[in-house]
Structure 1
Amino acid sequence: MKWKCLLVDDEPPALNILEKYIALIEQLEVVDKCSNAFQAMEVLQKKKVDLIFLDIQMPKLSGTGFLNTLKNPPKVIFTTAFKEYASEAFDLDAVDYLVKPVSLERFIKAVNKVTQANNFIEEKPIATAETTGFLYFRADRKMVKVFLDDIVYVESLKDYIKIYRKNEKPLMVKQSIGTLEAMLPEHLFLRVHRSFVVAINKITAFTNHDVEVGEMVIPIGRQYAARLQQFPGFKK
């Protein structure tokens, strides 16, 4: 049996990321996607749903408000860009509370809480980049194995990304940098600009405005500056 999942979010990119994550897990199945709570109500009346991935801030009716209207709701995992609703979410017996951008590893931890608590499926280890230490990318008409430790930084070039590796030539892959960011372990890689993701252990120096990765100087985007707070000595 599979968990029947309903995705509710008013941001299409967020829905796409969740759908891609679910596609990687054999025990999950998307039964529908909705952009607001009222569409979700209609789906629940027509289809069997075991698990809802639910955004909080949505037009007309919030995710928490929607959940309050349900008498016998399915299991719920909240997905939101705001940390301040966590207490309210758990008061509603949510299984977990994911803050966007949601990494694949964090997503799997949330799903495991559901499966372990309900003993609904036979548990199987799920291979991730963090557990295997590598990813495969389609390039030059073949699947290329790239070890995480070899990645120095990644640059976005329109519809492609360019993966710079130590002791290897750069690898050009047709994929968005946002999708790649979601695949990479968040404690090992950092998005510092809309066009750049860097390996944290490859950063050799940084200022308020840029990071240095070897001889490469990469600018820090304004919306990503807050992420650099984890580095001692960095001041916004």
Structure 2
Amino acid sequence: MKALIVDDERLARKELISLLSVHEQIEVVGEAINVDDAFEKIKQLKPEVIFLDIQMPGKTGFELLEMLDHVPKVIFVTAYDEYALKAFEVNAMDYLLKPVQPERLEECLSKLISNETNSELKEEDILDRSDKLTYNDQVFVKDGEKCWFVKLQNVRFFESDGNYVKVFFGENKPMIHRSLNALEERLDSRHFFRASRKYIVNLSWIENIETWFNGGLVVHLKTGEKIEVSRRQSTKFKELMSL
């Protein structure tokens, strides 16, 4: 896996690179000294995993993730144990405390490689043909002090709320500062459908469909939630679902 090290401390970067050198599965392809540097190098080098410091001069590691459309796998490397535990849910990501211990790094990499092996796409990688986010991509969502790494397949639907969009997954519905139109352009239309001005729905979460009084449709999700498909979009939806 190609890796990028993002840390403003040169000695911390060199120490981590040295520790990673004994792990053949990881290839360090670059270093970044701050968020803006990392943003450019991620676009250029396309790493599969980034080792990311949280507290850096200027922008934080959180802000870097918010800037990215496609988030690589992320391992946080931080000196702030209490801060990391507060900011992230236990199963949402992994993090290493400075100074990094070789045993802890090995444990982290073992989990990383295992997850990568289990999530490999059997179909041709969609990113080779399109810059759209794929169904198996994960995105970073931050709302206040809570942060999540969410696979798009686990998002039931998106709901427009002014200049924000609510992201519905599990019991959560955090808000991101993005328009529904911009989000629609990035999503794979084979899996996500623009039901109306207000909603984009994940087709795999639909359990059944009913006709609505105004010529539109209502889709019932497996969770019991209902999403109205506008009359204008109903024709497209019927064609898509072969109704």
TM-score (norm 2): 0.46
